[in-house]
Structure formats: structure tokens, C-alpha cells
Amino acid sequence: MSRFLHALRYLPTRVMVIVLPFALMCLVEYLERGSYADFRQWTGDHPFAMLLAYFVTGALYLVLIALTGGVRVSFWLLCLLLIPLGAISGSKLKAIGAPYYPWDLYFHNEIMEYGRFMKGYLSTSIILVVSIFVILVAVLFHLILRKRRLRFHFTERIVYGVIALVLAASLGTDKPISFTNLYGMYTVPWDQTITYEDNGFVYSTVQMLGFLDVAKPEGYSKKAITSLVDEIPDKPAAGTVKPNIIVMLGESFFDLTEMKNVTYSRDPIAHLHALSTTFTSGKMLSPQFGGSTANVEFEVLSGNSMRFFGKSPDKIIPYIEYMNHGVDSLASIMTRQGYTATAINPFFSYFFDSRKVYKHFGFSRFIASEYFPNDFEGPNYADHAVVNKITEETEKSPGPDFVFANTMENHHPYPSNKFTKNTIAVTGDISAESKGILETYAQGISATDEALQALVDYYSKKGEPTIILFFGDHFPFFEDDYKVYRDAKYVLPNDPDLYVKTHSTPFLIWNNFLPADQEKQNLTYSPSFLGPLLLHMAGVQGSYYTNYLYDLSQKIPVIPPQEMWANYGIQEKDLLDYERMQYDNLFGQRYGYAAKGYKDTIVQPNYILGYGDPVITKIEPSESTIKVTGLRFFSSCEVYIDGVNYKSNFDGTDTLYVDLAKNPKLAPGEEHQVEIRVYDDKKMKIGQSPIYPLPAS
């Protein structure tokens, strides 16, 4: 009995080991969200994520106890680690709509911005909650546990250490306990903010740690890179012409006429087929299937290859994890030669971290969907709207342009009612479901084909020297287990050519200034080699990297997944220099950039999203409406009066109308402050006009 009572005296200490990390986890998750309401909603919607976040915090606490032997010192050390991280993540989330990722710390990303982030984040309620938490824990340690032993015997510390290691291994690697399978946890590669929203800051951070495991290539050093760069011959511009260089990505675009067991009432991509008989064209072996367009963009724009990220490139999105500094690209190469570089993407500016990425690639402007007119085909912006944006941008600038543009009209999914009408009939021995999907898909790529021809027609008539690279980013998903492809007998059971058949998308390089007798080529290429090929054909100067890649492409035009290298006659040593330079560009000391003076010429100081902030030029109030006229107005613009959102209608050009009957009443006899704000789909403010006074009525 006495032994039981003796053990009972130390029970509160063990209880604290269980309770304290749970309380700290709750505080950190509250700080990351910045409000109690959001925290409470998360706990209700995602209880298993909360449990795993508790396991992470508990494992860290047990590790510290095993090392120090003390309850109090271990907990305060854990607080010093996690509370600032939670606050930093919350401040970043509030400021730019993204949490604090492990790679932000690893790569020192935006480190100079966190002072500004914190100023806009710290509120009285947040400071009060943290203060109360610290005081309560201090009182708990002092009053409740002061007469009890707060240190553990060596044996107990070893037990805690073993438990912590098992938990840490399971949380980080899913072994020996597979928590992800047990609780159905997941990540969202194309938008990690969703991962953090659902799985919480603490556990998501553990999930993301694997992205920092980037192996340094054998022999990487300053000497190796500078020697290699010195050996790459300079290639000056081949002529005096600086043509417009336009790259257009066709969303989910492949040549479906290669599915020989089905037929179409007309050729869905007749223009591409016709142009391919005259101009250089071919197949591009995409690293993606069914999605992750950003990875194909990454290769084409930067010349870097997804093949050096291991065997599962679909789990990695370099745009999100690794584009945390200036990375030389077609945009920055062209900008150094007097070009205006514009990125156009008719989707939300936050997607794939595009706002950050295009800045770090060296673009001067990024026009996202927030700056598009309401011109839709189906649920997405029409491809002809993208063509209009491209031609508008090249008309505006006095000199040559580099434009990189995405299309979205043909994005997955492909229900039969996606478009107003499907005008291409599909026949063949396939199911009705597959037939419907193919007819919708044929309609979508037909619009992309028309958009390509519209670009060709425009620059043919314009006469301004122009070269256009068009390519499909990846095959469409077409349901689980290649359902439509199998139904159409395009892929067969145990098909040895499955990868090539489902990753080979078309590309075309058109121009209006090169000699007509220039040899037309039919090529098979990797996307990372398309940029160097485009520069070579345009006759403009590239970089040491694109010069190297162009020469390499003449020997090894296609780089498949690593497990297929032997089939293509590729040995690891053949690509070692390529891998070293890519590592240098993304993760190393960027010795190559320094040697060539590129380091400070990539990110453009005048980079803007859209067309700049809106400006109010006139306000005309009446009894029933307020008419707000200005510059740089779009459908994403919202009217705010005295900081309150007033619902408005946009006329499509330069005016917003506020219906006073459907909004809060304005206090009479007072002057009011009017402003226009631009928000993205996540309600992050991405633009704001100066204040414009509304006189007292």
C-alpha cells in the first residue's frame, strides 16, 4: 500500500507529460490560424489531424525529457521552438496566403519580410492568449508540482526516448506505424496550403520535411561548376533580328487522333496537323500524366529537369518547394537582352505559388485570372481570351516581347455538358461513357487548336518577327486506371509502351521570319530542351546553361525516368554535369550564376501582378447608386467604403456600380472614404487603390 501511495505522489508529473504537449499543440495551431473560430472549426472537421499534431508535439517533448531529464526545462524549450514558429506561420498566412514551410527556414525564404508580416499579425487577442498560456503553465509548475520530483530517472528517460523515436519514425516515414493509412491523411501537391488547412501546421510540417532531402550530386563543388561553365562556348546571337518569342502551353493536350480504334467526324486539331507539315514539330516526353502542369512549365522555362528529383516527380512540385530565389529562365535571359517578359495564366494567381514563381523566374508582369475579362467556355476561361491577352501585351511594348502563356479551357474534367455544344462526333467500339468523354475532350482541344491558328494568323498579318512554341503539357486523366485509353484499346493489358504512349505530347515551333527553305525537323525531345531549341532557332543569345543543354540535346534528346535510362542508352555519367548544374541553380551556391554575373539580373525590381493597383478617377453619387469610375478595373475589384465592403456590379470596362438599396446605409452629413480592393479566390488582398473621398451628402 505504501509503495502505491509513494508512486501516486508522482502521478501529476506523468499527467503533465501527457497534458502539456496537447495544450501547446492547441496554442500553436491557434496561432497559425490567428483566430479561435478557425481553430475550433479545424478541431471539429479534422480530429485525426489534431491527434497526429499532438503526437508530433508529444514526441518532441519526450525527446527533450530524455535529453534533459526535466519536465519544466523541456517544456519551456519546446515552447521556445514551437510558439514562434506558429506565430511566424500565422503572420505569413495572413500576409500572403501561405503558411511557413520547412523550406522557408532551410532556404531562408523571405526572411527579411517577417518583421513586416508580424506587424500586421500581432493583435491584442493573440498577445493576450500567449501571455495567459505562459502564466498558467508557470503557475502550474510552481503551485501544483513544486513539492514533487520534476526530474526522471535515467531508465524512465530511456523509455521516453524509445517511445519518441518510434513516434517520430512513424510520423515521418510511416514505419513501423502507418499513421497516414490508419487515419487517411494526405497531402495536396499542387496547393500545399490545403494540406496545412486540413492537416494542421504541426503535422503538415513533418509531412513536408521529406522535400528537403535533396541529394548533392557526386563531385559538386565550386571548382567543378566554374570549370564546367568555363568550358561551355559562348554562342552570340545569330542575327540582328530580335523576334517576339511566344510560348503557349496547351492544357491537357495530346493528339487523340493517334487512338486508331476510334474516329472523329472532323479532325479536332487540323491546324496543328497542317502547320506540322511545314514547321519544326514533334513529340515531347512529358514528366507528368493527368496533372501537375507546373512541373512541365518548370522544365520548359528553366531548362531544369524533373528527372533529377527521384522516381516520384508527381509528388514534388518545385514551384512550391524550391523556387525560393531567383532561378535563371527564358524570361530573365530575354530580359537581359531588352525584352519585356510577361507570364499569362487564366487561373488564380496563388495556384502553384505562381505569384512567387514568376517573380523568381525574372518576369516583369504576371497576368492571372483576376485580371481577365469574364470570357468563359465551359467552367474555365476561353482559350481565345488567352490569345487576346498575348496580342495585347505584344502591342503595348515598344520592343520585343517574351510571353509565356497557359490555356485552361480544356482542363479536366470532361462531362458531356461541359461546353454549350460538342460539335465533333466520336464513333468506334467504345462505351457510351468513354464516347462522351472523348467528344467533350475533342471539343476542348479543338478550341486550343483554333487559338493556336489565331496566334499564327495574327503574327502572319502583323509582320513583326515572331516565333511561337506551342506544346501540350500532359495527357488528360480520363478516369481511373487509364479507363478511356483502355476502352479505346490505345493501351493494352501489360502494355510495354504504356509510359511513352501516355506521356508523348505534341509540340510545334512556328515563325514568320526565318528562310522558307530552312530545314523542317521532326523531333522527339524532353521539355527541358525545348527552351534551348527555341532560342537556337530564334537566333538569339542564350545563357551558358541553355548553350550546354542545346549541345546535350543533340546527343541525348530525350531523358526518360531513371529506370528507363538503360533502354535509351543513357548512363548516369552522361547526365552528371547536367545534374550538378541543376543542383547549383536550385540548391547550391549558384557558382555558375556568379561566374557569369547573372545573380543580380534575374528578379526584376519592377515586377507587378496584373497591371498595377486600381485607381479611382471619379465618383458620381446619386440617391440610388454610387458610380465609381477608374483605371485598371476588373471583375475581381470590390468597392470598400469606410473599410466596409459594398456589393457592386462591374460594367466590363472602367466602372463599378454600387446599389445603395442593397448595401449598408451611409451616414448622412459625413465625408466617406472610398477605395477599390482586388482579392483572389482565397480572399487575399492583391491590389488596392488610393483612398478617394466621397463628399458629405
What CA–CA distance (Å, rounded) separates 559 from 632? 44
Sheet holding 401-406, edge to edge: 522-525, 280-285, 504-511, 466-472, 244-250, 401-406, 340-344, 365-367, 608-609
b (16+ CB within 10 A) / e for 402-431: bbbbbbbbbbeebeeebbeebebebebebe
Neighbouring CB atoms inside 10 A of 469's CB total 24
Using one digit for the tens of pLDDT, what is the confidence trace for 159-204? Answer: 878 888 888 888 877 788 887 777 777 777 777 888 888 888 988 8
DSSP 42-81: HHHH-HHHHHHHHHHHHHHHHHHHHHH-BHHHHHHHHHHH
With 50 as the cut, is the pLDDT of residue 4 above it? no
Angle in degrees, 0-180, between the axes of helices 354-361 and 293-302, rounded to the nearest 10: 10
DSSP 394-412: HHH-SS-EEEEEE--TT-S
Using one digit for the tens of pLDDT, what is the confidence trace for 365-405? Answer: 999 999 999 889 999 999 999 999 999 999 998 899 999 99
Give the mean pLDDT of 495-509. Answer: 94
- Of the ranges 109-118, 144-153, 157-166, 273-282, which is most confident? 273-282
Using one digit for the tens of pLDDT, what is the confidence trace for 301-354? Answer: 999 999 998 655 567 889 988 888 899 999 999 999 999 999 999 998 988 889
Cell digits for 571? 548512363
Q: Give pLDDT, residue 2.
A: 47
Neighbouring CB atoms inside 10 A of 188's CB total 14
Using one digit for the tens of pLDDT, what is the confidence trace for 219-231? Answer: 999 999 999 999 9
Using one digit for the tens of pLDDT, what is the confidence trace for 347-368? Answer: 989 888 899 999 999 999 999 9
Q: Give pLDDT, residue 206.
A: 86
With 50 as the cut, is the pLDDT of residue 492 above it? yes
Q: Give pLDDT, residue 11.
A: 61
Q: Give pLDDT, residue 392.
A: 95
With 90 as the cut, is the pLDDT of residue 149 above it? no
* Phi, psi torsion values for 377, nearest 5 degrees: -130, 110
Using one digit for the tens of pLDDT, what is the confidence trace for 468-477? Answer: 999 999 999 8
SS3 for 622? coil
Q: What angle do CA 381, 386, 388 make, to 5 degrees?
A: 120
Give the mean pLDDT of 230-234. Answer: 91
Using one digit for the tens of pLDDT, what is the confidence trace for 582-626? Answer: 999 999 899 999 999 888 899 999 999 999 999 999 999 988 899
Comparing 279 with 167, which gets the higher pLDDT? 279
Comparing 211 with 205, which gets the higher pLDDT? 205
Tell me if 505 sits within 8 A of 254, measured CB to CB.
yes
Q: Give pLDDT, residue 154.
A: 76
Structure confidence at residue 494 as a pLDDT band (50, 70, 90): confident
Comparing 370 with 518, which gets the higher pLDDT? 370
Using one digit for the tens of pLDDT, what is the confidence trace for 5-20? Answer: 444 455 666 777 788 8
- CA 400 to chain centroid, in Å, comes to 28
Give the mean pLDDT of 27-49. Answer: 90
CA-based torsion, 675, 193, 582, 114: positive or negative? positive
Q: Cell match 516583369: residue? A: 364
What CA–CA distance (Å, rounded) separates 68 from 70? 5
Cell digits for 529? 530542351
Neighbouring CB atoms inside 10 A of 682's CB total 15
Q: Is 129 exposed, middle or buried (0-12, 13-18, 19+ CB in 10 A)?
A: middle
Using one digit for the tens of pLDDT, what is the confidence trace for 131-143? Answer: 999 999 888 887 7
Using one digit for the tens of pLDDT, what is the confidence trace for 100-133? Answer: 888 777 766 555 567 778 888 888 889 999 999 9
SS3 for 610? strand
What CA–CA distance (Å, rounded) separates 280 from 264? 26
SS3 for 652? coil
Tell me if 137 sits within 8 A of 114, measured CB to CB.
no
SS3 for 153? coil
Question: Can you give the pTM of this predicted structure?
Answer: 0.87
- Least confident span in 179-193, 424-438, 513-527: 179-193
Q: Cell match 501527457: residue? A: 18
